Homo-oligomer: A and B are copies of this chain.
């Protein structure tokens, strides 16, 4: 059985077998230690064929029309000959096992297309864990020949930074209106966007969408110095009529052209930062798994919270025990 053999599974993924890709991601998402080892072997085999996709984060608050946008955008890409994978990062989905993409009625047409691959958010207890598995799933999708990967987030939490750290470009979807009602998106999220799309620019909302885009454009240019070589764009689109969808993809192309070699540097930075993050998180995990240390950590954390111990001194006490005892 190829699922018990990482190299057989890798070969099937590389051959573009969808069910093999689904199984590969299930293996990547597993928290069983023996699965983890096989997942590492699998990723090692896939890695040389990964990295050749356009990696896009897509964020937006509920109501911005994220699923219909991804459906229309994905459709447009597939019609242009691309193969599109859609992944999601949503740590809050741990209870439902993937709420944001788990709803079977969403992205129906896209899900049926052979050139598309849609995968809900992995279940997980921590954002770090969910993000890690999504990152590795992205590599598997790339190795399976998907040349555009969309990573969706809900736009209301901490996941956006994690997604911005794994993609080339971050798209933020807004709805017409905005202003004081503020779209339900959290502080810090507009900051991450390389491209802002005001969706629902159709029918009687069209002029309102244009006004919203103009307002955001002015605000963004005032508050946000551009990344080197790129000035954030604000555009309108309609997932319903398809207006502005080709232009959104053109903006992605313009962004990639503007960054040029900077894109490779960005990926290298992301990958090494990811490695060090994993090391730091892994060390903390090991510390928390140790019963005696966990008790000490809990006590010190309480003292720090109550203002009875200085954070750095508490950290040093914990570290001394950790480094001596492990």
Contact = CB atoms under 8 A, between A and B. Distances in A.
A28 to B, nearest CB: 10
Contacts of A221: 179-180
A51 interface: yes
A243 to B, nearest CB: 24
Contacts of A279: 284, 287, 315, 318-319, 322
A126 interface: no
Contact of A275 (B179, B315, B322): B315
Interface string A302-322: 001101111111111011001
Question: How many monomers of this chain does the complex have?
Answer: 2
A280 B286 CA distance: 11
A188 B187 contact: no
Given A315-B282, A319-B282, A139 B271 contact: no
A124 B153 CA distance: 38
Given A274-B311, A283-B284, A187 B47 contact: no
Interface string A254-289: 000000000000001001101111111111101100
A136 interface: yes
B227 A223 contact: no
A223 to B, nearest CB: 5
A224 interface: yes
Contact of A43 (B43, B187, B310): B310
A300 interface: yes
Contacts of A310: 40, 43-44, 47, 136, 139
A222 interface: yes
Contacts of A316: 40, 278, 282
5 contacts: A40-B310, A40-B313, A44-B309, A50-B307, A223-B223
